[in-house]
Amino acid sequence: MDCNSEYARWSSQKGMPEEYARELSGMTENEIKEAFSAELAFGTAGLRGIMGAGTYRMNIYTVAQTTRAIADEINARGEAACRRGAVVCCDCRNNSGRFAAIAAGVLAKNGVRVRLFDGMRPTPELSFAVREYGCEFGINITASHNPKEYNGYKVYGANGAQINDAEAAAISERRSKTDLFAQFESEDEFSRQSLLKAGVEFIGAETDEAFLSRVMSCAVTENAAGLAPDMKIVFTPFHGTGRVLVPEVLRRRGFTNVICVEEQMVPDGNFPTVASPNPEDIAGFELAIRYAKKAGSDLIIGTDPDADRIGLIVRRADGEYVNITGNQLGVLLTDYIFSAGRASGKLPEHPAVITTIVSTMMARTVCEANGGVFGEAFTGFRFISEKMDELEAKGCTAVLCFEESYGYLSGSHARDKDAVTAAMLVAELAAYHAARGKTLAGALEELMEKYGWYSERTMNIKMPGLDGLEKMARLMARLRSEPPKEFGGEAVGAVCDYLPGTRRYADGREETLDLKKSNVLAFELADGCRVIIRPSGTEPKIKVYVLAKGGTKSEAEARLERCAKAAEKLLG
């Protein structure tokens, strides 16, 4: 793409919004290159990028172009597909409502039935709505926990999961043939009145109620709040979409001592009270911890802006507030669902737990020790949802799906991460252990004593800029051609290459893996530890996962540290 000629085309475009015109007029040569040297790529994760003018930015034109491609895809599937139509949702980010209105309008003017949420909603409710209304597609305007400069465009298939490779390729092909500026003349076409006139159906309270009903059906202990009636929960939605439904579902489950962080209950795409709205980062909970100290609460729950991921802060016996990692919460919930579910009679006959290849190895141990079926998938809930369907076809019921990056799903109402349901289960989990005289920190230690000590760390190596993808490709090629023989003095016993789907042992033997066609390398060490390396699917960075285990806490942590340092050295 010739960035200068594309920049000139944008600069001369009639009807360009003032905000984009100002940005274009002030661009430096380097900024022109960054904004126009490529198109924002569309894939199974949809679109995600910095907002602003340019082909490599999220803006009204890239949204309209992509939506037209989806409309063409639906029309190609026939009249019945157009009647099933699409549902459109958005989060709290700057421009999210604006982009959602454009998406709804472009679909409607191209003959597709559209249901548009009347305001921001959690991502899991969008997944639910696609399934509930029998839609052909779902569109969600969100960039999850990314910084405030970003927005995104996620596309869901008829099963409520993010689209697969074939659907993404078909939409991408149509998008490449769609003119960026030909989808509308003025944003006035997307006012509420114009959308209603075009046939767009606004949905809201009735869908919320149907969603909450399904969420509450996932409860494991019927009167969990009664186990710890004085338990106080501090909640923050980080200015996002969890602000209404999370407190409501907790109230309906009987948890009446819910203390909301008022400053963060206000929807705001600038996220003014946090450096980053990421529940993985304990720094974002600074304000919530102040609330917890004042209230004397042992438990803090936080949901990210689109309420698909959940973070958890607990108070230890020494009074310090610490975070429970995504892996640790996955283990705690696995144990709780099996133990409490068996006691309440709500555990299905063939329960299954599904997680990803980069998540804690302890989940398998706890699941199988309790007689459950364990399933593994690649990173991302679209892969987890495929494994859910596969196990359901075999007569199993997925009682918990999770990934280490703080995403959880229980129940069959959705096919994406669901922080609303997870918040309810976390409250139950805390009450269950409080009735036993245990904090969640203490309960986790008890599980480690029982099943062995596990420790995990995720490291991110950022590779920004237009050449970031090229850098990541070179790194992965080098690791394939020259795989390390040891990490921290521990020999590599086998290398799993998930692109062809093979495991090659140090002695030259090779076997086929169940999973393949993903750019992931896993190094299995002689002491049972694993080092997994993969490029991120949504951000310009390489992700490294170190999974360690040992007979004691100190042994597991020492192995983790050795492997992490070796991985850092290997990757420069």
C-alpha to C-alpha distances, 465 to 459, 472, 475, nearest whole angstrom: 19, 12, 16
Q: How many CA atoms lie within 13 A of 565 on its CB side?
A: 9
Q: Are 544 and 461 in contact (CB under 8 A)?
A: yes
d(CA 531, CA 487): 9
Token pair listed for 8? 């000139």
Task: Give the other-Cβ count within 10 Å of 368's Cβ.
Answer: 12
Q: Which are the contacts of 76, defined by CB distance < 8 A and separation ≥ 6?
A: none
C-alpha to C-alpha distances, 413 to 186, 217, 409, nearest whole angstrom: 38, 10, 9
Tokens 């076409």 belong to residue: 189
Coil/strand/helix, residue 483: coil
Q: Identify the DSSP state of 162.
A: B
Q: Which are the contacts of 270, defined by CB distance < 8 A and separation ≥ 6?
A: 94, 148
Please tell me which residue in 144, 297, 359, 455 is annotated as part of the active site: 144
d(CA 108, CA 382): 27
User: Catalytic: 217?
Assistant: no
Q: Are 282 and 392 in contact (CB under 8 A)?
A: no
d(CA 328, CA 331): 5
Which residue from 189, 187, 163 is spatially nearest to 175, judged by alpha carbons? 163
Coil/strand/helix, residue 100: helix
Encoded amino acid at 75, one letter:
N
Q: Which long-range contacts (CB under 8 A, 24 or more apart) does 28-36 make?
A: 32/3, 32/4, 32/7, 33/3, 33/466, 34/465, 34/466, 35/3, 35/7, 36/1, 36/3, 36/4, 36/6, 36/7, 36/10
Residue 31: phi and psi, rounded to 5, are -65, -35
d(CA 486, CA 566): 9
d(CA 371, CA 392): 17
Catalytic site positions: 144
